[in-house]
Structure 1
Amino acid sequence: MAFTTPKIYHVHGMDSRQHLEHYLSDKPDMVFQEDFLIFPIENLMKTFSEGHIKGDVLIDLSIGSLIHHLYAPSEFFKNIIILKVKDRCILELKRWLNTRTGAFEWGHATKIHIDIEGKSAELQDKEGKVREAAQHVAKCDLNKQNIMDPVVLPPADCIISVCFLEVISKDQDDYVRYIRKFSGLLKPGGHLILLGCMNMTYFKVGNDRIHAFTYDEEFVREALVGEGFVIDDCNVKKRTAVSDLTDFKAVIFIAAHKEK
């Protein structure tokens, strides 16, 4: 079936389970392990192991129904608030959090984390910490000034966002506006961690072709600094995956903090 006009992620949604199968599964033909599993896990482990990012509240604003990026922060945060723009992503995520039959299997990602960590912790222990911390999963509305209106979120010590800004932004102004909105959710001195795909124009999920905003390292650095952030770490990895599912050229990891 031919792909038609690109869909907008937070408007049209996507099949979140198929997204996981395409980009994050342990299937032999899943070619994104280096870019979407190992690179994020390595960078998040390094950043959190340094010990300066911790506190009471971490907010996760990420694409789809991801879990693997929460292994490292679950060691330092007992309260992780996961926000999603679509019910389908919430349902898929809760299937895993509540250990329901048919949940997506994250054991391969957990093993990658444990292998890199070099510890003998069991898979269940690592996944159990995420389940224990991620007790709050809710829907948000990005069009509202308070995205959780009428609920007021507690100021966060850290926000993690994985491959989210590029799929909700239509242009540079949009991207900066969302950075500003994220900043408003953070405490003074709070941390923002971004993982994203650079120079991407689309990604496919099933028969849907989904829009992505194209940006490069220079742009995202300037966007963060312009909104009052200090960049603490930035790593870029050129794409290794060979696939026509998406056209990103590199993946980026940025850790920054909000100036007091």
Structure 2
Amino acid sequence: MNRRLSLLPSLPIYLLFHLLRKIPTLHQSGIFTSPAPRLPSTLEKTTFLESKKPDVYQTNFEPTSYLEYFKLDQDPMAKEVLHFLLKHYNATFKPGGLKGKLLIDIGSGPTIYQLLSACETFEEIVASDYTDKNRQELEKWLKKELGAFDWSPVVKYVCELEGHRDRWAEKEERLRKAVRQVLKCDILKERPLEPAVLPPADCLISSLCLEAACPTLGACRDALHHIKTLLRPRGHLVLSGTFGSSFYMVGDKWFPTLPLEEKFLLEALQEIGFTIEKLEKAPRAAETLLDNRSDYTGMFFLVARRGD
């Protein structure tokens, strides 16, 4: 066996996985002088994704490490992703846009960025997440507890988009007042918020959740159907995330993700009765391509209406 290849088993799994994806390029460059090893088949990749269990998140996901992605003034990837998402949230919930009584956020994580525009046009917001630690971290900010993440740079940016940067403290208080509950959520279940019972929402938001929570495309279709049941007829789904991502890092922990593609996503939504009203896309910025915390190829922001 080539001595270089014999070293691979000692590498951390996420580096091994990333390196295997690059083998054809390395082989062409002459780094490997023997034939390149066989890459995993589609079936093997599917089996790998199916082996992912949600409880990995309960055990290994650290919200304080994840929040490093949201330091707007310090992290190029945060700047790229947040600027894209926040601009489209602002456009979606500005005066004349979506509004109503109840908005449910599916898979909130420990974050609030996705709610900063919506709190201006919805009376009540219910946040939700799978892991206990994420819900606790979110509650820490809502209750102004010591050690809560500082969202003020992100809040100020949203206020600037809205034309009144100096009112960021007011927006924080408005959001705290609007969020009525933080619930357990599992989109892989038929009743994602069980045992909680809520009236049908006027709007659902879900950001960076589907690709992380769903192990297969079939599970993703099912998850979209599950969350649809939380939405009233003619209500809106605001969905955002990444295309093409197979993994992301939280601190030193590696998490596999489902590589979503535009064609699949649109067809899956249309099959269960949604009408697509808006789809915005952006390729990954060149300056973040060397950031090996994730391999996403682009971002999307989608607004759909339930048709029945």
TM-score, scaled to structure 1: 0.93
Partner of 2:28: none
1:15 has 2:62 as partner = yes
5+ residue gaps, structure 2: 1-9, 15-48
Q: Tell me the CA shift for residue 117 of structure 1.
A: 1.8
Aligned twin of 1:213: 258
- Cross-structure match for 1:257: 305
Instruction: Choose from 52, 73, 83 the match for 2:128.
Output: 83
Q: Compared with structure 1, are the counterparts of its residues 83 and 25 closer, same or farther at alpha carbon in structure 2 (3 Å cutoff)?
A: same
Q: Which runs of 5+ in 1 are unaligned?
A: none
CA contact (8 A) 1:194 1:255 kept: yes
Shift of 1:126: 1.1
Q: Is the partner of 2:100 in helix, strand or coil?
A: coil
RMSD: 1.9
Deviation at 1:140, TM superposition (A): 2.5
- The residue that corresponds to 1:155 in the other structure is 200
The question of whether the paired residues in 2 share the 8 Å contact of 1:238 and 1:251 is answered with yes
Mapped partners of 2:188, 2:232: distance in 1: 22
SS of 2:270 mapped into structure 1: helix
Q: 1:180 to 1:170 in 2, by over 3 A?
A: same
Instruction: State whether residues 196 and 253 of structure 1, in contact with CA within 8 Å, keep that contact through their aligned partners in structure 2.
Output: yes
Q: CA deviation at 1:218?
A: 1.5
Residue identity in the other structure for 1:247: D
Query: The residue matched to 2:86 in structure 1 has which SS?
Result: helix
Conserved 8 A contact 1:3-1:209: no
Instruction: Report if the CA contact (8 A) 1:10-1:86 is conserved.
Output: no
Q: Once structures 1 and 2 are overlaid, which stretch shifts more, 113-122 or 198-207?
A: 113-122
Pairing partner for 2:226 from 164, 178, 181: 181
In structure 2, distance between residues paired with 1:9 and 1:123? 39
Q: 2:4 matched to 1:4?
A: no
Q: Deviations over 1:44-64 (max 9, x none)?
A: 110112534221110001352
Which of 115, 121, 125 lines up with 2:160 in the alignment?
A: 115
Task: Please list the CA deviations of residues 24-57 of structure 1 after superposition, one character each: whole Å capped at 9, or x if unmatched.
Answer: 11463x1213332111110011011253422111
Indicate if the aligned counterparts of 2:107 and 2:185 stay in contact, CA closer than 8 A.
no
Taking structure 1 as reference, are residues 120 and 86 closer, same or farther at Cα in structure 2, changes over 3 Å only? closer
Q: C-alpha separation between the residues in 2 aligned to 1:101 and 1:55?
A: 33
Q: Which amino acid aligns with 1:18?
A: S
TM-score (norm 2): 0.79
Name the CA distance, whole Å, in 1 between partners of 2:95 and 2:307.
Answer: 19
Check whether the contact 2:282–2:300 (CA below 8 A) recurs between aligned residues: yes
* Partner SS state of residue 280, structure 2: strand
Structure with bigger RCO (C-alpha 8 Å, 6+ apart): 1
Contact 2:274–2:304 under 8 Å retained in 1 = yes
Q: Secondary structure at the match of 1:56?
A: strand
Query: Which runs of structure 2 are paired with 1:1-260 in the superposition (5 Å)?
Result: 3-4=12-13, 8=52, 10-13=54-57, 14-21=61-68, 23-26=69-72, 28=74, 30-49=75-94, 51-62=96-107, 64-240=109-285, 241-242=288-289, 243-260=291-308
How far did residue 230 of structure 1 move?
0.6
Rg bigger for which structure?
Answer: 2
Letter of the structure 1 residue corresponding to residue 65 of structure 2? Q
Cα separation, partners in 2 of 1:173 and 1:99, compared to 1, 3 Å: same
Give per-residue Cα distances to partners, 1:68-123, cap 9 Å, x unaligned: 11011000112101111110001110111111111001011011111222224421
CA distance in 2, matches of 1:136, 1:25: 25
Distance 1:195 1:143 in 2: 18
